[in-house]
Amino acid sequence: VHRPIGPVAQHVPQAPPQVPVSAANSTIAAAQSVASSVLSTATSAVSSMAAGHIPGKAAAGDQKNEIFVDILERLTVLMNAQGQVLNSSIDGSIQMKSYLTGNPELRLALNDDLEILSQPREAAPMPNYGGGPQQAVVPLDDCTFHPRVDLNDFDSQRILSFVPPDGEFSVMNYRIDSEFRPPFRVTPFVDSVSQYKVELVIKIRAEVPESNYGGNIQMTIPTPPGTASVNCDMSAVGGE
């Protein structure tokens, strides 16, 4: 999920179920996802100290004074023929593109409900990827940080401090292996019409809150190498 702060679009690459179906480059406007609970605010505290040279920083006159913050998340979800989730995980990254003049120190504040898991897996609460009041904490199984990130205030205040290099870099990478409710549920139906014809019906149900919007959803359905032709029909029934 790209969770932008600034003029950057959001995208959700959706992982395949057991019947290989994938949705990529999906846009979720105002998404209340796991990512939205990871990132709260990004505030820049520009220091008044003299701008010393830092490797990778261009001259101030060559830069635009702007910064972009994105959250990228890749969901991997395995479902059975009944649409039940067998396995799921989230790999996420907080990415920045910095075009700031000078060498400002930035402070990135994360939500207080961010938790590095130390409890047993079965005791961890299930987050709802689409958001909702039942989401108490965001459990991270693992996380790593850019070498420039100062973690002195991370444990107590969930604040990351750093002087960003020019261009794009990863502030933080994280992984969530605990079970979560996926934003889409996929249910396949296969009917052998004849010896040479198979009818495949795939239902996709959006389970994100009604206040959110999903668009540019793409589905990839692999077919056997000997397939002669494919006819595709789409319809919406009861919001599915």
Give 116 or 188, the one with higher predicted confidence. Answer: 188
pLDDT of residue 6: 38
The whole model's pTM is what? 0.62
Closest listed residue to residue 158, CA positions, set 177, 174, 169, 176: 174
Helices (H), 104-191: 154-157
Q: Give yes or no for residue 228 having a pLDDT over 60.
A: yes
As given in the structure block, the two tokens for residue 165 are 């290099």
Q: Region 219-228: what's the mean pLDDT? A: 85
Closest listed residue to residue 115, CA positions, set 171, 170, 154: 154
Q: Give yes or no for residue 97 having a pLDDT over 60.
A: yes
The answer to whether 143 and 172 are in contact (CB under 8 A) is yes
pLDDT of residue 206: 82
Rounded Cα distance between 168 and 171, Å, is 10
Rounded Cα distance between 97 and 87, Å, is 33
As given in the structure block, the two tokens for residue 142 are 């693992």
Structural domain tally of the chain? 1
The answer to whether 3 and 42 are in contact (CB under 8 A) is no
Q: Region 46-54: what's the mean pLDDT? A: 37
Where are any strands of DSSP class E within 117-235? 138-140, 142-145, 159-162, 167-176, 184-194, 197-206, 213-215
pLDDT more than 90, % of the chain: 12
30 φ/ψ sector (left φ>0, alpha ψ -120 to 50, else beta): left
pLDDT of residue 171: 93
pLDDT of residue 131: 54
- When pLDDT is cut at 50, 70 and 90, the band that residue 181 belongs to is confident
The answer to whether 159 and 172 are in contact (CB under 8 A) is no
Q: Tell me which residue range forms the domain holding 20.
A: 1-240
- When pLDDT is cut at 50, 70 and 90, the band that residue 127 belongs to is low
pLDDT of residue 149: 92
* CATH value at residue 29: 2.60.40.1170
